[in-house]
Amino acid sequence: MLKTKDILDEKDKRLRMVSKEVSFPLTKKDKDLIDTMIKYLHDSQIEEIAEKYDLRPGMGMSAIQLGVAKRYFVVVNEIDEGEFETYVLINPKIISNSVEKIYVEMGEGCLSVNRPVEGIVPRYARVTLEAYDMEGRKIHVRGREELAICFQHELDHLNGILFVDHIDKKDPFKGKDQYRAI
């Protein structure tokens, strides 16, 4: 079982690597890693399981956060109490986005950043991604609000970027009035 301590910390230089495109068919190792990521994200959002196994709650995870520099990530989005939608996006790229930008009012979080971080991270309010599913079929996925932010956050990981990189060090709340808080 994947534990929070197995997730790379922001100090680990591997998180700054640009992940490589994945070819198909996926290896058994990649499929197993994806299943492990899904299980962690699912279980981490169920309070009793998260407490029992000391899992830090998360909605998304990129392969690079487990030291695998391949272009895929998983998002497990709770749409209702105990009801989840799972996204496995391989070789993803944004093909369209809204003009409107938003930010997480409480601040973005990351399983690799184990400290409180103040500041805003402007993100597109809506994005459409083109990616591949586990069988290598091209898919299009649209995200709005929280889901759009999560997609952009995970895509950043694939490019060696952490959310803290988007925060202005001198003025962490710079531009706050230009974007909508969610």
Residue labelled with tokens 């202005």: 168
Report phi then psi at 127, rounded to 5.
-140, 150
* Whole-angstrom Cα Rg for the chain: 16
Selection from 91, 7, 98 nearest residue 57 by Cα: 7
CATH number at residue 105: 3.90.45.10
Taking only the tens place, the pLDDT of each residue in 47-99 is 999 999 999 999 999 999 999 999 999 999 999 988 999 999 999 999 999 99
Report phi then psi at 15, rounded to 5.
-65, -15
Q: Look at residue 16 and tell me whether its pLDDT is greater than 90.
A: yes
Q: Which residues touch 136 (CB under 8 Å, ≥6 apart)?
A: 24, 25, 26, 90
Q: Which domain holds residue 82?
A: 4-181
d(C-alpha 117, C-alpha 59), whole Å:
18
Indicate the burial class of 94 (C-beta count within 10 angstroms; 0-12, 13-18, 19 or more). middle
Write the CA distances from 152 to 24, 48, 157, integer angstroms: 24, 29, 9
Average pLDDT taken over every residue of the chain: 97
Q: What is the DSSP string of 58-110?
A: -SEEEGGGGT--BSEEEEEEEEETTEEEEEEEEEEEEEEE-S-EEE-TT---B
**What is the predicted pLDDT for the residue at 24?**
97
**What is the predicted pLDDT for the residue at 82?**
86
Active site residues: 154
Q: How many CB atoms lie within 10 A of CB 23?
A: 11
Model-level pTM?
0.96
Q: How many domains does the chain have?
A: 1
Say if strands 180-181 and 101-103 run parallel, antiparallel, or are unpaired: parallel
Report phi then psi at 113, rounded to 5.
-115, 100
